[in-house]
């Protein structure tokens, strides 16, 4: 998943900071794929990104935060794309289109990146950082939904919709990562299917009870 590009008018200093953060994020993916999550060190990350160890801590508080940076960048990009969708689009349509744009421009360009993401989403040591990213993403999306649907502001709808939709998308991504033979097309297809399920509603009649 990809981080949103710098806004128009961003100064040179800020662009350099964004480039360094991106270099560290990409370094984390490469090192995780090569050595495994638990063996990646701050020193390796700094060396791979060609910066000093002291400089590393200007961007991330720990190696764990750097390792989940791709998830955080993807979350930020998704919210930015959602906010940029035409106001007339429904919430789920806008979210689907935003997710597809992020996937097309994302950090899953090669098998090494996909393998790294598999390791990152499964590493128990990164669970607190992943949960923090997910919680922040849900809050940001709920706020964006409230802006898109003003009548729902002050109700549970924005938070409920954000939590449900993002959980569904994570389930799709997890399932795709579990299947080493799955293609990008299958990921898009699964995303379409899960959004259709949500749009149709989750309540269904129970099946017959076996005698």
Q: What is the separation of C-alpha 80 from the centre of its chain, rounded to a whole number of angstroms? A: 12
How far apart CA 28 and CA 120 sit, in angstroms, is 10
Mean pLDDT value across residues 81-104: 93
Name the residue with tokens 């919680």.
135
Distances (CA, A) of 35 to 18, 19, 67, 77, 150: 26, 24, 13, 27, 48
4 — pLDDT class (breaks 50, 70, 90):
very low
Q: What is the pLDDT of residue 152?
A: 95
Torsion of CA 31, 37, 41, 46, to 10 degrees: 40
* 104, 187 contact by CB (below 8 A): no
Q: Global pTM? A: 0.88
What is the predicted pLDDT for the residue at 2?
Answer: 44
pLDDT the model gives residue 42: 98
User: Which pLDDT score is estimated for 44?
Assistant: 98
The pLDDT tens digits for 60-87 are 999 999 999 999 999 999 999 999 999 9
Which single residue is written with the structure tokens 């938070």? Answer: 159
The per-residue pLDDT for 12 is: 87
Question: Mutual orientation of helices 69-84 and 111-122 as an angle, nearest 10°?
Answer: 100
pLDDT in tens, 13-46: 899 999 999 999 999 999 999 999 999 999 999 9
Q: What angle do CA 8, 109, 60 make, to 5 degrees?
A: 60
Q: Please, are residues 190 and 176 in contact by the beta-carbon 8 Å criterion?
A: yes
pLDDT digits (tens, 9 = 90+) for 162-190: 999 999 999 999 999 998 888 888 989 99
Q: What is the pLDDT of residues 112-163, one digit of tens each?
A: 888 899 999 999 999 999 999 999 999 999 999 999 999 999 999 999 999 9
DSSP string, the chain: --PPPPPTT--HHHHHHHHHHHHHHHHHHHHHHHH-GGG--HHHHHHHTT--HHHHTTT-SSHHHHHTHHHHHHHHHHHHHHHHS-TTS-HHHHHHHHHHHHHHTSS-SSHHHHHHHHHHHH-GGGHHHHHHHHHHHHHHHHHHHHHHSGGGTTSSHHHHHHHHHHHHHHHHHHHHHH-TT--HHHHHHHHHHHHHHHHH-S--PPPPPP-
Quote the pLDDT of residue 194.
Answer: 94
């Amino acid at each position: 998943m990809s981080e949103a590009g710098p806004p128009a008018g961003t100064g040179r200093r800020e662009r350099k900071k964004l480039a360094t953060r991106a270099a560290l994020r990409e370094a984390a993916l490469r090192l995780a794929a090569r050595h495994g999550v638990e063996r990646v060190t701050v020193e390796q990350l700094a060396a791979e990104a060609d910066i000093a160890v002291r400089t590393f801590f200007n961007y991330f508080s720990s190696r764990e935060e750097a390792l989940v940076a791709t998830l955080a960048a993807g979350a930020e990009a998704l919210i930015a794309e959602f906010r940029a969708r035409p106001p007339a689009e429904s919430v789920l349509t806008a979210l689907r289109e935003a997710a597809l744009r992020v996937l097309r421009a994302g950090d899953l360009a090669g098998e090494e990146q996909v393998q790294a993401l598999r390791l990152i989403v499964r590493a128990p040591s990164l669970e607190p950082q992943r949960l923090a990213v997910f919680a922040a993403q849900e809050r940001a999306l709920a706020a964006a939904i409230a802006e898109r649907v003003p009548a729902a502001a002050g109700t549970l709808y924005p938070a409920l919709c954000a939590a449900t939709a993002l959980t569904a998308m994570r389930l799709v991504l997890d399932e795709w990562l579990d299947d080493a033979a799955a293609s990008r097309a299958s990921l898009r297809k699964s995303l379409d299917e899960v959004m259709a399920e949500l749009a149709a509603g989750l309540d269904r009649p129970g099946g017959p009870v076996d005698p």
